[in-house]
Amino acid sequence: MSIVERIAVLDIGKTNVKVVIIDAVSGMEIAAVRMANHVLAGPPYPHYDVEGIWSFVLDALAQFALSPGYDAISIATHGACAALLDSQGRLALPVLDYEHEYPQQVRDAYAAIRPNFAQTASPFLPGGLNLGAQLHYQKAMFPADFARVATIVTYPQYWAFRLTGVAANEATSLGCHTDLWKPASADHSDLVAELGLSDVMAPVRSAFDRLGTLLPEIAQRIGTTRPVSVFCGIHDSNASLLPHLLRRDSPFAVVSTGTWVVSFAVGGNLAGLDPARDTLANVDAFGRAVPSSRFMGGREFELLTSGWPQPADEDVAAAVDAMLATGRMLLPAVVQGSGPFARHKAQFIGDEPRTAAEMHALASIYIALMTETCLSLLDARGDTIVEGPLAGNASYLRLLAGLTGRNVLAVSGSTGTGSGAALLAGVPPAPVAGRQIEPGAIAPVAALRRQWRQRLEMMPS
């Protein structure tokens, strides 16, 4: 196999779809295009516009084949997603949006058959956040279409299948709160047999496996004559974790931010996971269970700040200091149904924001308090590495360092997903490009955390 110099990464998130080119020596993005990821209303249910994504991906790969070029393709996507293929390799049913809510009788029927937390380390989540719930819903509500399912592949591997014709599954996607995986034994959970899926689940491959090269018709569509290797792919939050697993010793924490804020505590406490607080075990690229917690922080920040102009960082910092001094805060949850306070309803304490700087300050304080809560539930220790959009939020980073009392490393770039996925092609991890924020002396932060927790204890749940 030829030496890999540049890797094209398909980064399919819940909010945006990107194709980026990663330089194998520096590990840096050298080209990128993106589009919004739209959900189609139906029928038969809300689903992802996979053909729109596919057209965008092929156009981007064709563009980048001309310049700067690439030798391999790797893939990272959001979790809670799978594709159901018929015997011809076409979709037997559309790829279901995990935010779709099912009829209560379907939810109740699923609750009766799902494995317990001790087996899967996967909490019972709303909508289709448990992939097993999606498969149960599709089988129960669309039996004729489901009867045509010949192969089930997790979402990163769906795109690898379309590129290579090779069907596979992979542990980071099977192990992210699906109810389908047993992290302790690295095998399917009892639910797979319960749903009658044992014969249709694609073989489990390593994220690092080279599945093959581009199908001839895809290579022709893209306009490349060189053999381009395609690697199995990975769950996006685990892609952000992977570079740090390769360069750091335990313990440390990684906070991967996007639509979701997913915290990994490497060297944390697996025995203390609490399904009622949305803590769980994710499975890393090497198949190992990692204590994790999550909340929909990116979505919450967007909801809070939508409609307000973007203020200057110094104005937000000043507003943060004023709020810390007066005890103004926001209690969770802006988005209900997940996270450590899933059943709470958001509530302002003190005056509501009157300016853009105040709104961004309040949102930054809220997201920092939520992140610190998630990390503490995992007994996270060592440095905290923040990846993704929140790595550019100076007030959030300063607050998180103060709340945890530990160093925070903000990794530059819009996301760590691309660089992490590129490592699957065998390139060495590049040095971290980031800035370190030390805890410092922010006396009001401790008081704010104490007041926040006291207020939460008084809230109905």
Give the C-alpha separation, 191 to 179, whole Å: 7
Give the C-alpha separation, 121 to 274, whole Å: 9
Residue that is written with structure tokens 């592949």 in the block: 153
Distances (CA, A) of 97 to 26, 143, 233, 303: 36, 19, 20, 20
pLDDT band at 415 (very low <50, low <70, confident <90, very high): low
Claim to verify: residue 187 and residue 276 sit in the same structural domain: no
Distances (CA, A) of 203 to 1, 64, 151, 200, 283: 24, 31, 10, 9, 17
Distances (CA, A) of 266 to 79, 238, 242, 273, 282: 20, 12, 11, 14, 11
436 — phi, psi (to 5°)? -100, 135
Token readout for 428 is: 């060495």
Lowest mean pLDDT: which of 57-61, 354-358, 440-444? 440-444
Contact between 50 and 17 under an 8 Å Cβ cutoff? The reply is: no
Token readout for 266 is: 């490497």
Q: What is the pLDDT of residues 284-305, one digit of tens each?
A: 999 999 999 999 999 999 999 9
Residue ranges in 338-442 assigned as alpha helix (H): 356-377, 394-404, 417-422
Contact between 124 and 114 under an 8 Å Cβ cutoff? The reply is: yes
Of 232, 256, 286, the residue at which a domain comes to its end is 232
Q: What is the pLDDT of residues 325-351, one digit of tens each?
A: 999 999 999 999 889 999 999 999 999
Q: Residue 107: exposed, middle, or buried by beta-carbon count in 10 A (0-12, 13-18, 19+)?
A: middle
pLDDT of residue 338: 86
Contact between 163 and 140 under an 8 Å Cβ cutoff? The reply is: no
Claim to verify: residue 49 and residue 189 sit in the same structural domain: yes
pLDDT of residue 242: 94
Local structure of 406: helix, strand or coil: coil
Q: What is the mean pLDDT of residues 416-436?
A: 84
Give the range of the structural domain holding residue 134, as residue numbers without chain letter.
Answer: 6-232
249 pLDDT more than 80: yes
Claim to verify: residue 227 and residue 249 sit in the same structural domain: no
27 pLDDT more than 70: yes
264 pLDDT more than 90: yes
52 pLDDT more than 50: yes
- For all residues of the chain together, what is the average pLDDT? 94
Residue 399 backbone class (left: φ over 0; alpha: ψ -120 to 50; beta: rest): alpha
pTM (whole model) above 0.75: yes
pLDDT of residue 427: 80
pLDDT of residue 2: 62
Local structure of 281: helix, strand or coil: strand
Local structure of 230: helix, strand or coil: strand
Claim to verify: residue 326 and residue 385 sit in the same structural domain: yes
Instruction: Answer yes or no: is 1 within a domain.
Output: no
Instruction: Answer yes or no: is 144 within a domain.
Output: yes
Residues 6+ apart with CB under 8 A from 261: 255, 294, 295, 296, 297, 298, 367, 370, 371, 374, 390
| Closest C-alpha to 228, from 8, 75, 24, 419 | 8
pLDDT of residue 372: 97
What percent of the chain shows pLDDT beyond 70? 97
Token readout for 152 is: 């089930």
pLDDT band at 62 (very low <50, low <70, confident <90, very high): very high
Instruction: Read off the CATH number of the domain in which 335 is found.
Output: 3.30.420.40
Claim to verify: residue 116 and residue 247 sit in the same structural domain: no
Of 171, 199, 232, the residue at which a domain comes to its end is 232
Claim to verify: residue 326 and residue 381 sit in the same structural domain: yes
Claim to verify: residue 40 and residue 178 sit in the same structural domain: yes
Local structure of 308: helix, strand or coil: coil
Q: What is the pLDDT of residues 434-456, one digit of tens each?
A: 889 999 755 688 888 899 999 99
Q: What is the mean pLDDT of residues 94-121?
A: 97
Claim to verify: residue 287 and residue 435 sit in the same structural domain: yes
Q: What is the pLDDT of residues 152-186, one digit of tens each?
A: 999 999 999 999 999 999 999 999 999 999 999 99
Strand partners, 231: 210
1 pLDDT more than 50: no
Give the C-alpha separation, 148 to 52, whole Å: 24
Number of domains in the chain: 2
Claim to verify: residue 211 and residue 244 sit in the same structural domain: no
Claim to verify: residue 28 and residue 80 sit in the same structural domain: yes
| Closest C-alpha to 83, from 93, 73, 75 | 93
214 pLDDT more than 60: yes
Contact between 140 and 109 under an 8 Å Cβ cutoff? The reply is: yes
Claim to verify: residue 198 and residue 323 sit in the same structural domain: no
Of 216, 232, 248, the residue at which a domain comes to its end is 232
Claim to verify: residue 286 and residue 376 sit in the same structural domain: yes
Cα end-to-end distance, the chain, whole Å: 57
